[in-house]
């Protein structure tokens, strides 16, 4: 299932009838008799086939005149993992829309970030999704607003701006026109707000704003333990904290906390300004790899020499990154060092920039910084400054706008950046599921102990990043 026109009706209907969670977020079911669209796992009675239409994206269903189901709540479905595998312009544009780029800079700014024309971007979206970039961005705003209205007691005015709308009037009009009800009407029917049920509550406040709790769904199984331990081992002092049950970090203007609970991840956001909430949600989803498709990964890796590892940890995820540049700095500094040593250096580097609006150095601040005091060797300092200058000059983009293969090639041209560093950045920052940290000594040792030849590596495509995580997890 790669485009809207290529959805297999029979396969989709079977998944719908079985309420197969593997397909949650991969397509949406629209019912012509009710004009409502649902997730494949909706508990409502399965509609007759003659009354069903299937759409790849929620925006396509809304563009066809359908409104989201209040029962299964399409706004909390996991994202379609197929776009990460494709890695093409449409997938990169969708990632930037998730980050709120279209809300902040419009479709023109989105196209400029991708270095293409608006016309070409519109043509690509129409061909692959059946909806324009503007329609997709509007649907993202509406669905986030619907989640906030349902799961929090945030005032409607604040919901409007948190979801990316330019005014309350625009928010009210758009929701009324698209969904047939006003924000206040949805809030009145949302029911009690109970923490941990997906209908969450505000849990406190920070100076200037509330603490919001939101539900982040995923496709099961989800093996959160190894993921949290990976992040805990590499947590930067003063910036992050993590243990076997939760992950927390400082973000611009506040903090976030992620806690896996029964069937989902609970996100607690404490920020003074909620206008960038869409970006926070998107980055948290990528950090924990919540849009992964364990069934597709197991289908490939489970037929290889990795089968015993897949059976032991079928829900293993690839840890992502909060920020692409931050991850690149981690990769360069930590290459070949014990995690505790790297954490100390990174902690000093992060602490040097406080207090300030950014909890971690930006490319602009690092490009001209004196890195001797942080204990970074001259060669690695040169690598960091080269990456920072490349980002400032627009030569590379580590946050989703650039083709991963192109970014990797550009990284390899920089001083001190080898295949391992470029592969690690591609794996975690660029979210390339087929990235491989070539030359990793630990991987070579593990594969030797398991009697797995390097000739097996090509057979793990397009999921080599997950193969690396499964091998690392045996340590």
Helices 277-287, 133-151: crossing angle, 10 deg rounding: 90
* Structure tokens that stand for 459 in this block: 């057979």
**CA–CA distances in Å: residue 471 to residues 239, 264, 301, 440:** 28, 26, 12, 11
Catalytic residue among 84, 291, 293, 440: 440
Q: Are 387 and 332 in contact (CB under 8 A)?
A: yes
**Distance from C-alpha of 349 to C-alpha of 343, rounded to nearest angstrom:** 10
Q: Are strands 240-242 and 28-31 parallel, antiparallel or unpaired?
A: unpaired
Q: Where do the H-state alpha helices sit in 131-255?
A: 133-151, 156-162, 168-179, 183-189, 224-233
CA dihedral 310, 311, 313, 316 (to 10 degrees): 40
- Which three-class secondary structure state does DSSP give residue 308? helix
Q: Are 473 and 309 in contact (CB under 8 A)?
A: yes
Catalytic residue among 12, 24, 38, 69: 38
**Distance from C-alpha of 472 to C-alpha of 475, rounded to nearest angstrom:** 6
Half-sphere exposure of 119 (CA within 13 A, CB side): 0
Instruction: Name the nearest CA neighbour of 385 among 333, 446, 420.
Output: 333
**CA–CA distances in Å: residue 267 to residues 282, 327, 359:** 11, 21, 19
449 noted as active-site residue? no
Instruction: Name the nearest CA neighbour of 189 among 65, 342, 71, 339.
Output: 71
CB neighbour list of residue 358: distance below 8 Å, 6 or more residues apart: 252, 365
Q: Are strands 254-261 and 247-251 parallel, antiparallel or unpaired?
A: antiparallel
- For residues 163-196, one letter each, b for 16 or more C-beta atoms within 10 angstroms of the residue's C-beta and e for the rest, the string is bbbeebeebbebbeebbeeebeebbeebeeeebe
38 noted as active-site residue? yes
Report residue 259: phi and psi, to 5°.
Answer: -135, 110
Following DSSP, what letter does each residue of 27-45 receive, concatenated? BEEEETTTTEEE-TT--SP
Instruction: Name the nearest CA neighbour of 163 among 178, 191, 183.
Output: 183
* Residues forming the active site: 38, 440
């Amino acid at each position: 299932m790669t485009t809207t026109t290529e959805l297999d009706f029979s396969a989709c209907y079977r998944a719908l009838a079985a309420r197969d969670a593997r397909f949650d977020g991969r397509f949406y079911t629209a019912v012509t008799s009710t004009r409502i669209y649902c997730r494949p796992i909706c508990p409502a009675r399965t509609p007759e086939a003659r009354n069903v239409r299937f759409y790849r994206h929620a925006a396509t269903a809304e563009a066809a005149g359908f409104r989201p189901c209040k029962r299964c709540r399409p706004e909390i479905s996991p994202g379609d993992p197929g776009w990460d595998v494709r890695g093409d312009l449409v997938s990169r544009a969708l990632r930037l829309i998730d980050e709120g780029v279209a809300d902040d800079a419009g479709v023109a700014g989105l196209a400029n970030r991708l270095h293409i024309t608006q016309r070409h971007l519109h043509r690509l979206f129409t061909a692959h999704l059946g909806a324009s970039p503007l329609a997709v961005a509007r649907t993202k705003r509406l669905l986030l607003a619907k989640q906030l209205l349902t799961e929090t007691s945030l005032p409607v005015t604040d919901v409007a701006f948190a979801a990316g709308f330019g005014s309350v009037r625009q928010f009210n009009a758009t929701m009324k026109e698209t969904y047939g009800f006003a924000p206040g009407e949805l809030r009145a029917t949302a029911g009690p707000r109970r923490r941990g049920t997906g209908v969450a509550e505000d849990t406190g406040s920070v100076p200037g704003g509330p603490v919001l709790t939101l539900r982040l769904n995923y496709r099961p199984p989800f093996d959160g333990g190894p993921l949290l331990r990976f992040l805990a081992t590499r947590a930067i002092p003063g910036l992050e904290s993590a243990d076997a049950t939760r992950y927390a970090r400082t973000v611009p203007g506040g903090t976030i906390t992620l806690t896996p609970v029964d069937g989902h991840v609970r996100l607690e956001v404490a920020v003074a300004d909620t206008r960038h909430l869409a970006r926070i949600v998107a980055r948290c989803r990528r950090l924990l790899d919540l849009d992964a498709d364990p069934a597709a990964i197991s289908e490939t890796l489970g037929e290889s020499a990795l089968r015993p590892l897949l059976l032991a940890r079928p829900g293993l995820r690839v840890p992502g990154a909060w920020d692409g540049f931050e991850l690149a700095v981690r990769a360069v500094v930590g290459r070949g060092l014990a995690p505790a040593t790297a954490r100390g250096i990174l902690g000093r580097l992060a602490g040097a920039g406080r207090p300030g609006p950014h909890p971690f150095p930006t490319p602009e601040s690092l490009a001209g910084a004196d890195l001797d005091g942080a204990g970074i060797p001259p060669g690695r300092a040169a690598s960091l400054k080269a990456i920072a200058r490349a980002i400032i000059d627009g030569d590379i983009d580590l946050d989703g706008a650039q083709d991963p293969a192109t970014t990797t090639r550009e990284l390899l041209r920089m001083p001190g950046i080898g295949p391992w560093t470029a592969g690690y950045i591609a794996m975690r920052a660029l979210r390339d599921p087929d990235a491989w940290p070539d030359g990793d000594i630990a991987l070579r040792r593990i594969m030797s102990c398991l009697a797995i030849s390097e000739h097996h590596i090509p057979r793990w495509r397009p999921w080599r990043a997950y193969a690396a995580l499964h091998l690392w997890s045996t340590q």
